Structure 1
C-alpha cells in the first residue's frame, strides 16, 4: 500500500463503512407507528417525571412544573418526525439536550429523555438521505456534546460537584474517585453517542441490502417474464416452421401425383387407368399423412400429455427421427424423382434434435425440387465426422436441374432451413452449383448449444 492509498487505511475503511459515496436514498415517511411511538414515549416520560417528583428528587429544581412538562412533550414530539427529517431531528435533539442539560439537568437525566435523545441520534444515522451529510452532522453533534462535557469539567462546577459527592468515598488505590468518575462518564457518553451512530449505520446498511435484494427480485421477475415471452415466440416459430414443412411437402406430393393422374386420364389408354388410380391413391395417402401430422402438431398445443410422452398409441408425433428418412425418400421416388442416399460415418450417434432438423431440411429441399426445379435426380448425403477438430454432422442435398419458370415461391422454406441452422449454430450453404443444379448444405456442430429461435430469426 502506498502512502497515498486511502482506500484501505482507517479513513478509507470508515468511508466504506459509512458509505459516503453511495447515492441510494432511504425514503422515510410519517406513519401511524411514529405517532404511537411518540405517544408511548410521552406517557412514559411524564409518568417517570412525576414519580421522581414524588420522591423529592426534583426539589432542587426551581423551574415551574409546566416548563418541565413542556420540555418532556417537545422531546417526545421529535420522535414522530425522526424518519421524515432525520438530520434535522438529530440537530434539534442535540439542541434540546444541551438546553435541558443547562437549565433542567434533572429532567435531562430521566431515562425516558435519554431514550428520546438516543433514538433521535440513531434515526439520524439510519434514515439520513445522504451519507456524507450524515457523517458531518452526527460528527458535529458528537464533538459539541464532548466539548460541552469537557467545558463542564474544566470551567464549570463539575469538579466541585464531583468532589462533594465523592468526599466520603475511599476510592481505589490506583484511581482516585474524581478520575474514576470522569473516566466512567466519558466511557458512558462514548458508548451512548457512538452506539447510536454505529447502530444507525448498521440499520441503514441492512435497509440498503434489503432494497438491493428487492431490486434483484424485480429484475429476476422481469427476466423471467422476458424468458417466458421469448419461449412463447420460439414455440410459435417452431410451430410455424413445422406447419410449413408438413404442408409444403405433402401439398407438393399431392400436386405432382394429381398432375400425373390427370395426364394419364387425358391420354385415355387402357393401361393408363391403373396408373391414374395409383397416382390418385398416392394423392389420398399423402393428403391423409399431411392431415395426420398437422393434427398431431396442433395436438401438442392442446394436450400437455403429448409433451410428457404419454400420448395415445397410434398418434404420430410431429417430430420425425432419422429412421423416418428412408420413408421420406421413398415418397419422393414415387413422385418420379431418382433419389440417392448415402450415409457416411456413425449416423446412429446423431442426437435426436439434430436428426429432426436433418429430416426437415431434406424434406424442404425435396419439396423445393418438385415445385421449382426441372431436376429428375437428387442426391442426399449425410456425413458424421467425430474425428475432426470440431465434431460435426453435415447434410447435403444436390440436384441436376434448373429453375422452373413461373414457380417462384415465398422463400419461407429456405428461411426455415436457415432458422433451423441458426438455432443450432450450424453453417449454411444454399445456392446454385457451379456446374448444374442446386445445393442445400448444412453443417451442425455436435457440441454447440441451442440458440434462441427468436434471436436466430432476427
Structure 2
C-alpha cells in the first residue's frame, strides 16, 4: 500500500522540485471566460425556451448571475489555480443545492471541469494541490453519497406504500443516483488525470528547453574554441611564412654586403629582393593581426607545416585509398604559375582541400570527388582558386558541427578570400574559395 501511495505521489509530482511558471492574467484567459459565459447564457435560454427550467423558481437574473460568475472564475485559473478550484467547488455545491437545473447545464460543467483541471495542472505547490483537490473530491463524493443514502430511504418508503414500480434490475431512485456517482467519478477523475498529464508535459517541455539552452551554450563554446584553435593554427602557419621571408631577407642582405664593392648591380638586385621580402612579410603580419585582433591568447603548440599546392597530389592519393575516386586538375594561365603562389595562400589552398575531403568522407554518400585548382596571373586581379565538388548527398545521422567549414571561412578571411560553400542545384556539394594574389605578391 505504501508503494502504491508513493507512486501516486510521484505521478502527482508532490516531491518534484520543479515549479511551473505562473503566468499573469492574459487576453486569452478573458476571452476564454467571456466565451464560456456567452455559451452558458445561450444554453440557459435555449433550455428555458424548451421548458427545461420549469421546476426552477429562482429569478432569471440570479440564474444569469450563476452562469456568469462561474465563467468569471476561469479568468484566474492559471494565475491562482488552487483558489479558483476551491471557489469553483463552492460554486458547484451552492448552485447545485439552490438551482440544480442551472448547475447541470453543459457550459457550467465545463467551467467546473476546467477549474479542477487547472488546479492540478498549474499549481506550483504540488503538496498543497494534492490536499486541496483531494478535499474537493472527498467533499463532492460525500455529498453524492448522502444523496444516494437519502434516495434509497425514499425508495424504501415508496415501496412500503406500494407506489414504487421497478422496471429494471435496480430501484429507480438509487439507480439514478448511482449513475450520477459513476458519471461524476469519470468527470472528476478525467479532470485530475488531464491536469496531471498537462503538468507533466509542461515539466518535460521546460526540461527540454533547458537542455536545448545548455546544448546551445556548449555549441557556442565549441564554436569559440574552434575559432580560437583555427586562429592559433593560422598564426603558427603565418609565423612560418613570415619567418621564411625574414630569413631570406637576412641572406639577401648578407649577399648584398659582400658584393657591394665588386658588383653593384648584384647588390642592387639583392637589396630589391630584401625590399620585396620585407613588404611581403609586413603584409602577412598585418593580415595576421587583423585576423587575431579579437581572439584571446592561447598557449602555443609546437607545429610547423610546409604544405602547399605542390603537395595536393599526395593528399589526393591518400584520399583515394579510402574508397573515393578523387581527381586533381591544376589549371595555370602561365607555366609554373602554381609554384609561384605565395606560401600562405598555397597553405590555405591545401588546408581547404584537406578539410573538404575530410567532410566528404565523414558526412557524404559521394564516391567521386573532383578537385580543381586554378591559378590565373593574367586576370586583372590575379587569383588562386580551389574548387572541391562531389556527387553525393548528406549521410543520415552524421551531421557535423560545422566547425570545419568555419575553419575554411576563417582561413579565407585571413587572405581576403571569397567563399562559396553549399549544395549544388544539379546534385552534390561544392566548396569553392578564391584567394586574391595581388596583395600577397
How many angstroms does 1:263 deviate by?
4.3
Q: Which whole-Å CA distance do the structure 1 matches of 2:102 and 2:331 have between them?
A: 83
Structure 2 match to 1:47: 42
Structure 2 match to 1:239: 234
Structure 1 match to 2:188: 193
Q: Which whole-Å CA distance do the structure 2 matches of 1:158 and 1:106 have between them?
A: 22
Moved more, 179-188 or 92-101: 179-188
Q: Which whole-Å CA distance do the structure 1 matches of 2:191 and 2:119 have between them?
A: 9
Q: Which whole-Å CA distance do the structure 2 matches of 1:162 and 1:98 have between them?
A: 27
Structure 2 match to 1:99: 94
Structure 1 residues 299 and 115 mapped into 2: Cα distance closer, same or farther (>3 Å)? closer
Query: Contact (CA 8 Å) 2:70, 2:88: kept in 1 or not?
Result: yes
Structure 1 match to 2:11: 17
Moved more, 276-285 or 255-264: 276-285
Q: Please report the TM-score for the alignment, with normalisation by the length of structure 2.
A: 0.59
Within-5 A mapping of 1:233-272: 233-265=228-260, 268=261
How many angstroms does 1:145 deviate by?
0.6
How many angstroms does 1:177 deviate by?
4.4
Give the length in aligned residue pairs: 307
Query: Which residue of 157, 164, 168 corresponds with 2:165?
Result: 168
> Which segments of 5 or more consecutive residues in structure 2 lack a partner in the other structure?
293-307, 310-327, 356-441
> Which segments of 5 or more consecutive residues in structure 1 lack a partner in the other structure?
325-351, 354-458
Q: Which whole-Å CA distance do the structure 1 matches of 2:164 and 2:286 have between them?
A: 104
Question: What do you get for the CA RMSD once the two structures are aligned?
Answer: 4.1
How many angstroms does 1:65 deviate by?
2.0
Q: Please report the TM-score for the alignment, with normalisation by the length of structure 1.
A: 0.57
Matched, 1:318 2:344: yes
Query: Contact (CA 8 Å) 1:42, 1:72: kept in 2 or not?
Result: yes
Query: Which residue of 208, 211, 216 corresponds with 1:216?
Result: 211
Q: Which whole-Å CA distance do the structure 2 matches of 1:168 and 1:31 have between them?
A: 55
How many angstroms does 1:195 deviate by?
0.6
Query: Contact (CA 8 Å) 1:124, 1:200: kept in 2 or not?
Result: yes
Structure 2 match to 1:340: none
Query: Which residue of 140, 143, 166 corresponds with 2:138?
Result: 143
Q: Which whole-Å CA distance do the structure 2 matches of 1:157 and 1:183 have between them?
A: 10
How many angstroms does 1:93 deviate by?
0.3
Query: Contact (CA 8 Å) 2:95, 2:103: kept in 1 or not?
Result: yes
Cα distance per residue 1:419-440 (max 9 Å; x no partner): xxxxxxxxxxxxxxxxxxxxxx
Cα distance per residue 1:321-377 (max 9 Å; x no partner): 8xx9xxxxxxxxxxxxxxxxxxxxxxxxxxx89xxxxxxxxxxxxxxxxxxxxxxxx
Query: Contact (CA 8 Å) 1:46, 1:69: kept in 2 or not?
Result: yes
Structure with max Cα Rg: 1
Matched, 1:56 2:51: yes
Cα distance per residue 1:226-247 (max 9 Å; x no partner): 3333333223322322232222
Query: Contact (CA 8 Å) 1:163, 1:178: kept in 2 or not?
Result: no
How many angstroms does 1:80 deviate by?
1.5
Q: Which whole-Å CA distance do the structure 2 matches of 1:147 and 1:236 have between them?
A: 75
Query: Contact (CA 8 Å) 2:88, 2:115: kept in 1 or not?
Result: yes
Within-5 A mapping of 1:375-454: none
Q: Which whole-Å CA distance do the structure 1 matches of 2:189 and 2:86 have between them?
A: 16
Structure 2 match to 1:346: none
Q: What SS does the corresponding residue of 1:171 show, helix, strand or coil?
A: coil
Q: Which whole-Å CA distance do the structure 1 matches of 2:183 and 2:331 have between them?
A: 77
Query: Contact (CA 8 Å) 2:152, 2:173: kept in 1 or not?
Result: no
Q: What SS does the corresponding residue of 1:26 show, helix, strand or coil?
A: coil
Runs of 4+ aligned structure 1 residues displaced above 6 Å come to: 161-166, 272-275, 291-301, 309-313
Q: Which whole-Å CA distance do the structure 2 matches of 1:234 and 1:132 have between them?
A: 51
Query: Which residue of 24, 30, 38 corresponds with 2:33?
Result: 38
Q: What SS does the corresponding residue of 1:60 show, helix, strand or coil?
A: coil
Structure 1 residues 226 and 162 mapped into 2: Cα distance closer, same or farther (>3 Å)? farther
How many angstroms does 1:26 deviate by?
2.9
Q: What SS does the corresponding residue of 2:199 show, helix, strand or coil?
A: helix
Q: Which whole-Å CA distance do the structure 2 matches of 1:278 and 1:37 have between them?
A: 89
Q: Which whole-Å CA distance do the structure 1 matches of 2:175 and 2:26 have between them?
A: 44
